[in-house]
């Protein structure tokens, strides 16, 4: 029995999580889902965006399937809390072009590896008594920088990629990004067969627009990775097709990159593909590589055929229509 924490969250998070669970339950595997709460609706109900019970549930399972949440002003972010509590120190964001999708580039297949526990998202913010000035601390440590760099090189080997690029701003952030860059090259010495280079984050943003094919694996800090990965999703069709995995040594959290989209919530027209690809990443993390590949290929086939698609891709189908079509494709593949 595979224990999975299920956190639907808010808005379309509920719809896409339902689709993800439907696909998982269609597989020849035994899952035990443990439901938990987080997000704005949770705050309105319980006075907290993420109860201790939710953290406990996530810690007692190997993987967490996370939908989407609406932000709650002045309150802590549930996903950031979970990442820190479970020490899922790496955020993996595959950027891939899909046949059947009209996008800027048709030949992209690279991975952004983002440090997930510190940087400007470390949570250390203060404001002075006059409320005229706020200060956020950017925390970068050698331990976290070396750990994320090592994972990036291991991912390059696993994906049969030739190069890893370190993205930083060490010319301005001399101490913090100095540590990040130095740690990257220290780890690189253990991987002599992998090509390495490094770019400033602003230059990387330009290169992603004009020559994204150059990249195999990108490793970077928390804020830079957050921005670059969302921007890169725009190269291949948008956030509705963008999965992600938060990976640690003991736990994994898997979520679509998009938000809770309250403007369309309840209409059941949200695109579940990002969630279903996140499900594939979760299965890979759980060493269920056979089923991970089947779910991934099924999603790709549904996108390429283009017969069943949600409004964001120019169709008129519902969320579960797409999920059911993916399930049919999986059945055809086995």
Q: Which residues are catalytic?
A: 121, 169, 202, 226, 230
Distance CA 283, CA 292 (A): 5
Distance CA 253, CA 263 (A): 26
Q: What is the layout of strands, in order, in the sheet containing 195-200?
A: 31-35, 2-9, 63-68, 252-256, 243-247, 90-96, 109-115, 217-220, 163-168, 195-200
Distance CA 221, CA 115 (A): 5
Q: Rounded to the nearest 5 degrees, what angle is found at the Cα of 88, between the Cα atoms of 141 and 270?
A: 130
Distance CA 266, CA 12 (A): 7
Distance CA 120, CA 222 (A): 7
């Amino acid at each position: 029995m595979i224990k999975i924490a299920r956190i639907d969250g808010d808005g379309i998070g509920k719809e896409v999580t339902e689709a993800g669970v439907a696909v998982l339950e269609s597989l020849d595997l035994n899952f035990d889902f443990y439901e938990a709460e987080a997000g704005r609706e949770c705050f309105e109900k319980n006075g907290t965006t993420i109860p201790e019970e939710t953290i406990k549930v996530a810690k007692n399972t190997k993987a967490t399937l996370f939908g989407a949440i609406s932000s709650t002003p002045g309150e802590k972010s549930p996903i950031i809390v979970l990442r820190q509590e479970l020490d899922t120190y790496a955020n993996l964001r595959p950027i891939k072009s899909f046949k059947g999708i009209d996008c800027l580039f048709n030949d992209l297949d690279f991975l952004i590896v983002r440090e997930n526990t510190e940087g400007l998202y470390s949570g250390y913010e203060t404001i002075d008594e006059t409320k005229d000035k706020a200060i956020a601390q950017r925390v970068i440590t050698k331990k976290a920088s070396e750990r994320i760099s090592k994972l990036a090189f291991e991912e390059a080997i696993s994906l049969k990629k030739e190069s890893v690029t370190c993205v930083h701003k060490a010319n301005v952030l001399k101490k913090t990004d100095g540590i990040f860059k130095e740690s990257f090259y220290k780890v690189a010495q253990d991987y002599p067969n992998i090509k390495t280079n490094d770019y400033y984050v602003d230059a990387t943003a330009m290169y992603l627009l004009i020559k994204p094919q150059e990249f195999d694996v990108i490793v970077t800090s928390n804020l830079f990775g957050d921005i670059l990965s969302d921007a890169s999703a725009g190269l291949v069709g948008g956030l509705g097709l963008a999965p992600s995995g938060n990976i640690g040594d003991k736990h994994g959290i898997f979520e679509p990159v998009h938000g809770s989209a309250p403007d369309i919530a309840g209409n059941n027209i949200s695109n579940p593909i990002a969630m279903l690809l996140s499900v594939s990443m979760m299965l890979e993390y759980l060493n269920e590589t056979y089923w991970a590949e089947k779910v991934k290929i099924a999603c790709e086939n549904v996108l390429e055929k283009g017969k069943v698609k949600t409004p964001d891709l120019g169709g008129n189908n519902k969320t579960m229509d797409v999920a059911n079509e993916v399930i049919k494709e999986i059945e055809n593949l086995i």
